Structure 1
Amino acid sequence: MTQEKHLIIGASSGIAKALAKKLATNQGENLLLVSRDFSQYDDEQFSNSMKISISDYSEQTISLTCEQLTSSLLEQVTQVYMCNGLLHTPAFLPEKQLANFSANQFCQTMFANALTPMLWLTHLVTKLKAKPFCKVVVFSARIGSISDNQLGGWYSYRASKSALNMMLKTAAIELKRTAKHIKLIAFHPGTTDTALSRPFQKRVAQDKLFTTDFVAQQLLEIVKRHQVDGELSYVDWQDKAIAW
């Protein structure tokens, strides 16, 4: 019987590496990994993993990468995890007020958090032929909920996650007709101890700052429970539905 495979995109992130450790079997031969940095994957556990190194997330690069991930490989994939995202850079932090808003920051954040996952989905979806199902997890955030916004601020990040949610919702409606074996999940991991959240951890209660190992385990349990139903699930690390 052909072994099921798992595709992790943005594999250098903290949660992605924790997922890979939990999923890897037979020195990781069941893993397809895409990243700009594989320095964390030198150990024996991943010696048989297929590692595709990319220089950027342009549409051309994504298209070429999906061609490299041949149909014979992708038809064995039953789980996809898109783990990349952007909250801050050395040049900017999330905007606290309108005076901090800039076109450059908005465009960078929107490109990373909304456009990039949709480009991956666009180029992968026709090749994901796993039967009876393939579950695709995209890292979203509770902050993308419009109805949950009580604090304001963080304009670009909020907008990018809201845009991502809308496009995933629209894609789920289409896939319900055209690719019924694919399930989309928008996942909010909570505040996790990674480089993405590090500048903001001082204000987070200790019991609300999660390890990557904990979040990875929670996510795997969520993926296991969710059925392929033609709907987009927008859930947090407890598998609780998030209001749109």
Structure 2
Amino acid sequence: MKHIWIIGTGGIALATYRLYSKRDDCSVRLIGRKEVQENNFAKVNSNDEGQISDFIIKNGIPDVVIVATGLLSNQSHGPEKTIASFTSDWFDENLKANFYPGVFWCKSLTAHLKRKDAIKFVILSARVGSISDNQLGGWYSYRISKAALNMFVRNTANEWRYKYPQSIILAYHPGTVDTNLSKPFQNSGIKKLFTPDEAAHNLKQNIDNLDDPKIWSGQLIDWRGDIVQP
């Protein structure tokens, strides 16, 4: 029986939770700050290290963790087009949604890992967090928070390589998915728009293919399974 934890309650997280829940060989927990009407839901604030640590102590080490939290805009803010629009408050909100959840869950789990453990820890990131791929600029807070996340994944992979050589930590770009996060930007020439169910299928397929930590740990890959250069 594989134990799967999915962190987040957005469109991709819910679709992935429901996909794994159909399998008889999986025990799935959906974890989030906001209550949702799903079986096996646990209320945990992913910006609260104490709550995260308590949950891990009570539930042990899972086989797969998927961190699917994210923020691009809200009712009062959108992604910045120019540096003139950058504010520390909005950047902090991006860090709370795009960066800290993955860091805090990883930090707390690492404290309980044993050398023999073989965990797959996948954090949803974005291609726009790739420095080498940035040809357009803009979207300062979102890009920078995702770039920081990608660096965190690479840093942690280097640490895990020696301490937990069978475990994998990975950043994952799901493509543009028809969720609340992308809705305000879906008319901007997007070539491919995935449904949440398609995104969940792609995510699961890529996780199933993570067979060698030496190849995959520390990478940013996209929904096709291709490595994206940082």
**Shared topology, TM-score over 0.5?**
yes
Give yes or no for the alignment of 1:240 onto 2:229: no
Q: How far apart, CA to CA, are the structure 2 residues paired with 1:103 and 1:220?
A: 35
Q: How far apart, CA to CA, are the structure 2 residues paired with 1:127 and 1:33?
A: 20
Equivalent residues in 2 for 1:93-108, closer than 5 Å? 93-108=78-93
The 3 A distance-change label for structure 1 pair 171 and 132 is closer
Q: How far apart, CA to CA, are the structure 2 residues paired with 1:170 and 1:14?
A: 28
CA drift at 1:87: 0.9
Give yes or no for the alignment of 1:199 onto 2:184: yes
Give yes or no for the alignment of 1:151 onto 2:136: yes
Amino acid at match of 1:5: H
CA drift at 1:163: 0.6
Give yes or no for the alignment of 1:225 onto 2:209: yes
Q: How far apart, CA to CA, are the structure 1 residues paired with 2:201 and 2:11?
A: 13
CA offset digits 1:167-202 (Å, max 9, x no partner): 110000000111122201100011100000011011
> Could you tell me whether the CA contact under 8 Å between 1:144 and 1:161 is conserved in 2?
yes
Give yes or no for the alignment of 1:122 onto 2:118: no
Equivalent residues in 2 for 1:127-146, closer than 5 Å? 127-128=112-113, 133-146=118-131
Percent identity of paired positions between Structure 1 and Structure 2: 33
Give yes or no for the alignment of 1:68 onto 2:68: no
Give yes or no for the alignment of 1:52 onto 2:39: no
Q: Which runs of 4+ in 1 moved over 6 A?
A: 26-29
* TM-score, normalised relative to structure 1: 0.86
The 3 A distance-change label for structure 1 pair 141 and 179 is same
Match of 2:161 among 145, 156, 176: 176
The 3 A distance-change label for structure 1 pair 132 and 53 is closer
CA drift at 1:130: 10
Amino acid at match of 1:17: L
Aligned residues: 228
Q: How far apart, CA to CA, are the structure 2 residues paired with 1:215 and 1:19?
A: 8
> Could you tell me whether the CA contact under 8 Å between 2:33 and 2:46 is conserved in 1?
no
* TM-score, normalised relative to structure 2: 0.91
CA drift at 1:68: 2.7
Amino acid at match of 2:229: A
CA drift at 1:132: 5.8
Gaps of 5+ in 1: none
> Could you tell me whether the CA contact under 8 Å between 2:11 and 2:196 is conserved in 1?
yes
Q: How far apart, CA to CA, are the structure 1 residues paired with 2:212 and 2:33?
A: 31
> Could you tell me whether the CA contact under 8 Å between 1:24 and 1:31 is conserved in 2?
yes
| Structural RMSD (CA) | 2.1
